[in-house]
Amino acid sequence: MRTLLGFTSVLNCIYGHAMTTFSETFANTADFKTVLTDKTGEAFVREGFDATWGKVNVSDRPDLADFQCNGALAVAKQAKANPREVATKITAHLTGDTAIKSLEIAGPGFLNFVLSDSALSDRANALSADERLGAPVVETKRKVIIDYGGPNVAKPMHVGHLRTAVIGESLKRIMRFMGDEVIGDAHFGDWGYQMGLLITAVSDEQPDLPYFDETFDGEYPVHSPVLLSDLERLYPFASNKGKENAEYRDRARKATRELQDGRKGYRALWQHFVDVSKTSLKEDYRILGVEFDLWNGESDADPFVAPMIEELKAKGLLETDQGAEIIRVAREDDKAEIPPLLVVSSEGSAMYGTTDLATIKQRREEECPDLILYAVDQRQSNHFTQVFRAAYLAGYASEGQLEHIANGTVNGTDGKPFKTREGGVLKLGDLLAQANSAASVRLHEAGLGKGLSDEDFNKTTWQIAVSAIKFAELSNHRLTNYVFDLDRFMVFEGKTGPYLMYQAVRMKSILRKAVEQGVSAGEIIVTEAAERELVLLLDGFEAALKETYLKRAPNILADHVYRLAQTFSKFYAACPVLIADTDAQKSSRLALVKLTLAQLEKGLDLMGLTAPEVM
């Protein structure tokens, strides 16, 4: 379910900046990787090679170096030269830099950079002073709509809905933080045949309601005649009956049509369905920390369908085929056969793709986005190919402005699509409650949270529970068909959300104690190995965010955040802060803790998580 809309064209959008596609580049780049890349690139240029060969990466041999450049190998291959000789010439241009403690040629021609402690100290202090904690900003701000969620009326959310909600929310936060203007749209599934099914089911169960009396001209009741539980019960019932019983199906279709044609009682009843469902959905999303800017539904797109069809006709894009109106979207070089987009079915109704296409038109006219991302299951990839091509043909967007951010499926521990042990669907709300209960038990077992009020204790367990679920989700690449194993997520040991929470809590604890003891943060002076490692990690925030942004892959951010927490934990064990030998060391390490906490909390926030004060 995706939405639609569209009235008349808004000229300044159609002919304005939205037709421009931006290259995705970033502004402030002060991390070691970039600085070293610039320097090394310059060295390559001075040897007559392209600067791009100077790309420096974090070393994958931390025992040998902090950073490395593989460019000499590649350029030598192209120039048919000896890689070690090339590397020698490059290093000659890089001597005399005090930031570089050592630069060595290793193996077949790798350049190994080791940075000086003072360079690390300087960088750490700069990060401390940077309110963005080293995060990059996009060079050109764009307006982005992210379409994620896709919840439906009468269908409770389940684990499958977690994927798009959690990934979409994270991408929204990341892009927004990096400077884009981002609108999150829930794209509520509130229209179509399923609504007709519900109306039919309610009319059979409660035929005396005024909604079904066409002669009724009074005020319809304010309160809904159905509860959420009724909808959840009626929908599967009606859906099955519609499949088995042709007469029932026809009644539901008729109801659908009448609803869409504006039959008053049906509209009023439908509004109750929408309100009841939305209230429940919003509660689930609230717990998950997912916030939409728009709750546009498919119904909001409905008024735009008819004008759009006229427009498509006028443009000569529509073709009648087997009684339906279609747009052909196949291309010469297609490997797979891409079927045409069905705009009007042979029964005269709007289809899934119709709604989506109209939604693109609506968004263009109402929001004029530079980019629309669809965080939707990969199984709909054909659908989006069709819709996107149709949109390009219709001029509702230009090539590259529409992207399907596909995700894999969520499986159970048996490798099949997730089901409860009883074989049923586990409702998201129940799942969250289970996780919360597990967190509560764990906290009690550990004898923690005793000093907390009931309210704070409850808040803490939810933060831990949600972190377990969301981090498990986000640490997988979005295309992975991952196994959802709540028991494993709830163990709270190792690479889990609660681990991240725990490290944040330890940092906060140190900060509180520092205040008590009158220790204040000062200049960071890096000396210990654990400090070096931590600063290098902090420096990597920028690169991790860039990568996450370009690939629309929050697992890269999740990995950075985890490694940051892990590296801090190592530092925590190796480098006492408040009981360090000297005051300067205390101040330095305290500043490092503050910086680490700030970046960790920012990273958590970008994943839609918040750490408690105590756990």
Residue 272 beta carbon to RNA: minimum distance, rounded to whole angstroms: 20
Burial label, 590 (beta-carbon count in 10 A; 0-12, 13-18, 19+): buried
Q: State how far Cα 585 lies from the chain centre.
A: 39
Contact of 285 with 166, CB cutoff 8 Å: no
Residue 115 beta carbon to RNA: minimum distance, rounded to whole angstroms: 14
Of 62 and 400, nearer to RNA (C-beta) is 62
The DSSP element (H or E) to which 113 belongs, if any, is strand 110-115
Q: State how far Cα 60 lies from the chain centre.
A: 28
Contact of 149 with 290, CB cutoff 8 Å: yes
Of 65 and 226, nearer to RNA (C-beta) is 65
Of 16 and 236, nearer to RNA (C-beta) is 236
Of 269 and 575, nearer to RNA (C-beta) is 575
Contact of 59 with 65, CB cutoff 8 Å: yes
Of 9 and 380, nearer to RNA (C-beta) is 380
Residue 541 beta carbon to RNA: minimum distance, rounded to whole angstroms: 13
Residue 116 beta carbon to RNA: minimum distance, rounded to whole angstroms: 18
Tokens linked to 291:
């916030």
Tokens linked to 593:
């803790």
Rounded (5°) CA angle 225-226-231? 155
Residue 494 beta carbon to RNA: minimum distance, rounded to whole angstroms: 2
Of 355 and 588, nearer to RNA (C-beta) is 355
Distance CA 429, CA 368 (A): 35
Residue 430 beta carbon to RNA: minimum distance, rounded to whole angstroms: 20
Residue ranges in 95-215 assigned as alpha helix (H):
117-129, 159-177, 193-205
Residue 475 beta carbon to RNA: minimum distance, rounded to whole angstroms: 6
Of 42 and 485, nearer to RNA (C-beta) is 485
Distance CA 368, CA 10 (A): 9
Of 280 and 411, nearer to RNA (C-beta) is 411
Which residues, listed in sequence order, are joined to residue 185 by a DSSP beta bridge?
Answer: 147, 294
Residue 158 beta carbon to RNA: minimum distance, rounded to whole angstroms: 14
- Pairing between β-strand 410-411 and β-strand 482-483 as defined by DSSP bridges: parallel
- Return the biggest CA–CA distance within the chain: 92
Distance CA 296, CA 147 (A): 10
